């Protein structure tokens, strides 16, 4: 499986405390109509920390059925318990996802050897290709370059989603091994791709899937001038989708566009009035009608 381009870290819409599958289906069709390269359900942007185990599996079932082979699905099935990650990933495998996104185990702060064994065990026990997810700002634990190097030769380790905020990490990873790197930050997609990353797992593409996809495809084709023009156009949105904790701003933005209800689960809550106005102005700046 060759991962490149734009993969949307899709939100999980709620209504009256339940997953809103009607809205979810419409969001997926919007992504597919825009020519997205793939979707990533139940990741951080999909509010996986507040979704219970049964909901998690049902969401994966729904996305697989709705997408029906029209684009790759990378299901978020990571956990800080290896046993739990295996259980979720096995279910995802049974219903037919293409790969799983495995977040760095959080809170328990494993050693480098523990991280290596965790990721390797999930891949080998499930047989599902995995994407490593480095996001130390959320997990308190960074995947060392040497762990990525050790895992990179395994046939089931496809890529690393790099969301540590460091463009230099791309060079360090590619200097150490041959593995696909995907940006985990919209604002760093273009600089990371200029150094050899192959695309992005994107928050902004929830709103503008065709534009973000075009940015990555232009960069893959070596048209960095064209990609830079889209980057500059979309930069206000890339910046302000993180004016407060993700996915609060992107769900607020989708609600402003009438695509979902503006609903979260505690401990996440609604965007502040100040944050909403900042977000509204950046949405206008990129051509969204709000």
Q: Mind telling me the catalytic residues?
A: 133, 161
Structure tokens at 29: 């069709």
Q: Which are the contacts of 223, defined by CB distance < 8 A and separation ≥ 6?
A: none
Q: How far is 118 from 200, CA to CA, in rounded Å?
A: 24
CB within 8 A of 210, min separation 6: which ones?
34, 35
What sections of 153-197 are H helices per DSSP? 168-176, 189-194
Which of these, 145, 88, 150, lies nearest to 116 by C-alpha position?
150
CA 21, distance to chain mean position in Å, is 20
């Amino acid at each position: 499986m060759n991962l490149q381009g734009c993969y949307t870290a899709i939100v999980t819409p709620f209504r009256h405390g339940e997953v809103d599958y009607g809205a979810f289906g419409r969001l997926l069709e919007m992504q597919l109509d825009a020519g997205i390269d793939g979707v990533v359900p139940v990741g951080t942007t999909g509010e996986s920390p507040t979704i219970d185990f049964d909901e998690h599996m049902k969401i994966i079932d729904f996305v697989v059925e709705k997408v029906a082979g029209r684009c790759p699905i990378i299901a978020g099935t990571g956990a800080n318990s290896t046993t739990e990650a295996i259980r979720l990933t096995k279910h995802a495998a049974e219903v037919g996802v293409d790969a799983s996104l495995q977040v760095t185990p959080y809170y328990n702060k494993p050693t480098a050897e523990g991280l290596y064994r965790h990721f390797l065990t999930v891949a080998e026990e499930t047989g599902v290709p995995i994407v490593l997810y480095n996001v130390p700002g959320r997990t308190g634990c960074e995947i060392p370059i040497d762990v990525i190097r050790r895992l990179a030769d395994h046939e089931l380790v496809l890529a690393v989603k790099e969301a540590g905020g460091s463009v230099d990490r791309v060079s360090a990873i590619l200097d150490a091994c041959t593995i696909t790197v995907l940006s985990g930050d919209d604002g760093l997609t273009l600089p990371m791709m200029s150094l050899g990353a192959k695309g992005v797992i994107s928050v902004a593409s929830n709103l503008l899937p065709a534009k973000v996809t075009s940015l990555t495809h232009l960069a893959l084709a070596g048209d960095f001038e064209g990609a830079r023009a889209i980057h500059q156009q979309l930069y206000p949105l890339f910046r302000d989708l993180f004016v407060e904790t993700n996915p609060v701003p992107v769900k607020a933005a989708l609600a402003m566009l009438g695509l979902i209800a503006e609903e979260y689960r505690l401990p996440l809550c609604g965007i502040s009035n100040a944050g909403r106005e900042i977000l509204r102005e950046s949405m206008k700046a990129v051509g969204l009608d709000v």
